[in-house]
Amino acid sequence: MLNCIDNSGAAIVECAMVVGQKRHARVGDRIVCVVQQQRSATGEGMASASAANKVKRGDIRHAVIVRTKYKVQRPDGSVVRFDDNACVLINKSGEPIGSRINGVVGQELRRKKWSKILSMAPMNA
């Protein structure tokens, strides 16, 4: 189970498969996930809130892992670990579905060529 930190409309997703046949997903890996919970409707009305949600519960989408609880060793010797597991939903061609990212993303995305996600994020750790 991962938190979805973009504004695509998903709140919690469940990883169904790691693309590339690895055992575990790391920061920067592409996964296939199922939307388990939608973001709550906040705003002036339900119609406008549901129109803003690009995904709904039960949708199967691709995503990129941006944070993991598992420790990641960096080339300079430092070790980084985040408080939660988080992802950003993408379409089949690799473009993010949402237009904003809320929260910190791992710097390992730079090596995996996810520069579009890095530029949308407010902060890199």
**Amino acid residing at 109:** L
**Residue 5 pLDDT > 90:** yes
**pLDDT value of residue 122:** 87
When divided into structural domains, the chain yields a total of: 1
**Local confidence band at 54 (pLDDT 50, 70, 90 cut-offs):** confident
**Local confidence band at 52 (pLDDT 50, 70, 90 cut-offs):** low
Where does residue 94 fall: left (phi above 0), alpha (psi -120 to 50 degrees), or beta otherwise? left
**Residue 39 pLDDT > 90:** no
What average pLDDT does the segment 86-109 reach? 92
**Residue 4 pLDDT > 70:** yes
Range of the structural domain that residue 86 is part of = 2-124
What average pLDDT does the segment 7-12 reach? 92
**pLDDT value of residue 43:** 53
Percentage of residues in the chain with pLDDT exceeding 70? 90
**Residue 29 pLDDT > 60:** yes
The token pair that represents 74 in the structure block = 């960096």
Spatial contact of 124 and 104, defined as CB atoms under 8 Å apart:
yes
pTM of the model: 0.85
* Distances 72 to 3, 60, 89, 95 between C-alpha atoms, Å: 19, 28, 22, 25
- Looking at residue 80, which CATH number applies to its domain? 2.40.150.20
